[in-house]
């Protein structure tokens, strides 16, 4: 279980408040207007943005002051964050060891992850030699090798075409189900919510609301969400 207790995140004149829990194994979409703080919320959960107030707990453990790399959390950013001078196998391997000094078992984990996301045989290629969809898969492989119980996705597939985007969402859903991971995904598209989300966190007006069942919320949205969805 992921728990945000009395959390306040401040950046300049911007303030976001959150107080809720996310049940283990649920797939939760984070939606709301541009600039509302969706990415800020995920950044705080991942440890990249400090809290002004409150605590963050995962399975009862206080991780408020734990460094990002030591949290039980893996995060996939909008730009995939691949290093152009490294092969995709090396990029994935960074999820295990930043110094890339991998043993045989760890290299096998990387190979298995690349195969799982459909990149078997492409391990020596650099990101620049891959399509946009393949780059997204390589970034997803790095998340997969980390084997963390919580996965954060900050619109990593926003630049992909509709068909490829749906394929990636289906792959994420499949992998999250297999690993029983808790998933939080920022998206602007209600179709993404309908496709894979169990719950929705609506971020608006300086507040991240507690998760609500996705289907019921989309069928009968409150006024602020109805205005956002149009």
Q: What is the pLDDT of residue 30?
A: 96
Q: Which residues of the chain have pLDDT under 50?
A: none
Alpha-carbon Rg for the chain in angstroms: 18
Q: How many residues does the chain have?
A: 230
Do 140 and 153 lie in one domain? The reply is no
Q: What is the pLDDT of residue 137?
A: 87
| CATH, residue 222 | 3.40.50.300
Do 153 and 103 lie in one domain? The reply is no
Residue 110 belongs to what domain range?
A: 83-147
Q: What is the pLDDT of residue 126?
A: 94
Of 147, 166, 188, the domain-final residue: 147
| d(C-alpha 164, C-alpha 132), whole Å | 9
Do 68 and 9 lie in one domain? The reply is yes
Do 119 and 140 lie in one domain? The reply is yes
With both helix axes pointing from N to C terminus, report the angle between 104-116 and 132-146 in degrees, rounded to the nearest 10: 130
Half-sphere exposure for 219 (CA within 13 Å, toward CB): 5
Cβ neighbour number for residue 204 with a 10 Å cutoff: 18
Total structural domains within the chain: 2
Of 147, 164, 182, the domain-final residue: 147
- Residue 78 within any structural domain of the chain: no
- Residue 29 within any structural domain of the chain: yes
């Amino acid at each position: 279980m992921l728990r945000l207790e009395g959390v306040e995140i401040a950046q300049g004149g911007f303030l976001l408040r959150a107080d809720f829990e996310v049940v283990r194994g649920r797939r939760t979409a984070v939606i709301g207007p541009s600039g509302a703080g969706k990415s800020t919320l995920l950044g705080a959960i991942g440890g990249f943005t400090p809290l002004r107030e409150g605590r963050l707990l995962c399975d009862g453990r206080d991780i408020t002051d734990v460094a990002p790399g030591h949290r039980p959390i893996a995060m996939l950013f909008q730009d995939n964050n691949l290093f152009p001078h490294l092969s995709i196998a090396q990029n994935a391997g960074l999820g295990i060891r930043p110094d890339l000094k991998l043993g045989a078992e760890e290299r096998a984990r990387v190979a298995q992850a690349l195969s799982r996301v459909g990149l078997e045989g492409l391990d020596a290629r650099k990101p620049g030699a891959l399509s946009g969809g393949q780059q997204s898969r390589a970034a997803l492989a790095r998340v997969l090798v980390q084997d963390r119980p919580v996965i954060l996705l900050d619109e990593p597939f926003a630049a992909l075409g509709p068909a490829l985007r749906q394929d990636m969402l289906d792959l994420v859903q499949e992998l999250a189900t297999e690993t029983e991971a808790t998933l939080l995904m920022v998206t602007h598209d209600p179709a993404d919510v309908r496709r894979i989300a169990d719950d929705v966190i609506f971020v608006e007006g300086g507040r991240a609301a507690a998760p609500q069942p996705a289907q019921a919320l989309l069928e009968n949205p409150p006024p602020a969400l109805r205005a956002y969805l149009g």
